[in-house]
Amino acid sequence: MQGKLIIFTAPSGAGKTTIVRHLLTVFDSLAFSVSATNRPKREHETHGKDYYFLSTAEFRERVKNGEFVEWEEVYDNQYYGTLKTEVERLLSLGKNIIFDIDVKGATNIKREYPDNSLAVFVKPPSPEILFERLRNRKTESEESLRKRITRAARELEYEESFDAVLLNDVLEETLKNAELLLKKYLTETI
C-alpha cells in the first residue's frame, strides 16, 4: 500500500510543531519529513533531524535542478523546501509521512499528491494570542519578529483552503483531536 501524507500547516507560532511531535510518539507508522532551509541553524537544532541546512548557493542549485517537491522564499533570501528525495526515502520505507510546513508549501504538496494526502490547518484561538506566542518565544530579532507577525496575519486567511481545521486552544484537547483525526484518516482506504 502506498503511504499517506499528512500535512500540518499554520502560521508560525500556532503550535503545529508541538502537535506533529506528539503525533510522532503516538503513531509508529509515521515518519517526519525533514525540510531543507538556508537559514542559520539555531543552537538546539540538528542537521538532518530538524532541517537539512544548505548554503544559499546549494539551495538555489537544487531549485534549478528541480529537486524540490515544493520550495519558497519565505523571507528575503531565506528559503525553505521539501526535497523529492526525502519524500521518496520515507515512502520507500513504507511510512506515512507527516509534514510540519508553511501554508504555501502545504498547498503545493497537496496539489502534488491530491489523492493520498490530508492537509490540516492549525488555528490559534485568536490572532492576538498567536502574536503573543511569537513574542514569548524570544528566538527572533525585532525585525524577524515583525516579519513573522506580518506573514502570520496573511496566512490566517487560508484556513478554509485545507481538508481540516484543528483549533489549538487547550493543548490537551488539541492533541486528542489531532490523534482522532489521524486515526480516522490512516484507517481509510485510498
> 96, 5 in Cβ contact below 8 A?
yes
pTM of this prediction exceeds 0.75: yes
Element (H, E) at 133: helix 127-137
Question: CA–CA separation, 150 vs 112, rounded Å?
Answer: 27
Report pLDDT for 190. 53
Rounded Cα distance between 102 and 86, Å, is 17
The region, left, alpha or beta by phi > 0 then psi within -120 to 50, assigned to residue 83 is: beta
Q: Which residues face 52 on adjacent strands?
A: 36
Q: What is the mean pLDDT of residues 183-189?
A: 88
Distances (CA, A) of 3 to 12, 93, 99: 27, 9, 13
Residue 138: half-sphere exposure toward Cβ, Cα within 13 Å: 1
Q: Give the Cα separation of 134 and 82 in Å (integer).
A: 24
> Over the stretch 135-161, which tens digit does the pLDDT of each residue have?
776 666 777 777 777 777 788 888 888
In this predicted structure, what is the pLDDT of residue 152?
Answer: 77
Give mean pLDDT, residues 55-70: 97
What average pLDDT does this structure show over 28-51?
Answer: 94
Q: Where are the domains of the chain?
A: 5-185
Q: Are 85 and 69 in contact, with CB atoms under 8 Å apart?
A: no
DSSP code, position 156: G
Distance between CA 105 and CA 111 in Å, rounded? 10
- Is beta strand 5-9 parallel, antiparallel or unpaired with respect to 96-101? parallel
- Class of the CATH domain delimited by 5-185: alpha beta
Per residue in 158-167, pLDDT tens?
A: 888 899 999 9
